[in-house]
Amino acid sequence: MTLIAIVLATLAAGLGSVWVAAVLMRTGIGSQGSRFGAQHLLSLAAGALLATAFVHLLPEAFESHINPKALFVVLLLGLVFFFLLDKAELWHHGHEHRHALPEERGHAHDGHADAAHGHGHDHHHAHNNSAGRWSLLTGDSVHCFGDGILIASAFMADMWLGIVAAISVLAHEVPHHMGDLVVLSGNGSSSQSKIALLKLSLAGAVTALGGVVGYFLVSSLADFLPYFLAIASSSFIYVALADLIPQLQRQLTARQTVQQVVWLAVGMIVVSAVSTWAHGDHEHGHAHEGTEQHEAHEPHGDHDGHKH
Which DSSP string corresponds to 203-260? HHHHHHHHHHHHHHHHHHTGGGHHHHHHHHHHHHHHIIIIIIHHHH-S---HHHHHHH
If one compares 189 and 308, the residue with the highest pLDDT of the two is: 189
Give domain status of residue 55, yes or no.
yes
Rg of the chain on CA atoms, in Å: 22
Q: Shortest CA distance to 34 belongs to which of 91, 101, 83? A: 101
Indicate whether 107 pLDDT > 60: no
Give domain status of residue 299, yes or no.
no
Give domain status of residue 90, yes or no.
yes
Domain that holds residue 151: 2-281
Give domain status of residue 114, yes or no.
yes
Give domain status of residue 64, yes or no.
yes
The predicted structure's pLDDT at residue 131 = 56
Give domain status of residue 103, yes or no.
yes
| pLDDT tens per residue across span 50-90 | 988 998 899 989 988 899 999 999 999 999 998 888 777 65
**Are 144 and 170 a contacting pair, CB within 8 Å?**
no
The predicted structure's pLDDT at residue 136 = 73
Give domain status of residue 210, yes or no.
yes
The predicted structure's pLDDT at residue 194 = 87
The predicted structure's pLDDT at residue 255 = 84
| Phi, psi dihedrals of residue 91, rounded to the nearest 5° | -100, 90
Q: How confident is the model at residue 293 (pLDDT cuts 50, 70, 90)?
A: very low
Percent of the chain clearing pLDDT 70 (strictly above): 70
If one compares 108 and 67, the residue with the highest pLDDT of the two is: 67
pTM, to two decimals: 0.70
Give domain status of residue 149, yes or no.
yes
Percent of the chain clearing pLDDT 90 (strictly above): 29
Instruction: Give whichever of 29-33, 143-147, 185-189, 286-290 has the largest mean pLDDT.
Output: 143-147
Say how many domains are in the chain.
Answer: 1
- Cβ count near 222 (within 10 Å): 9
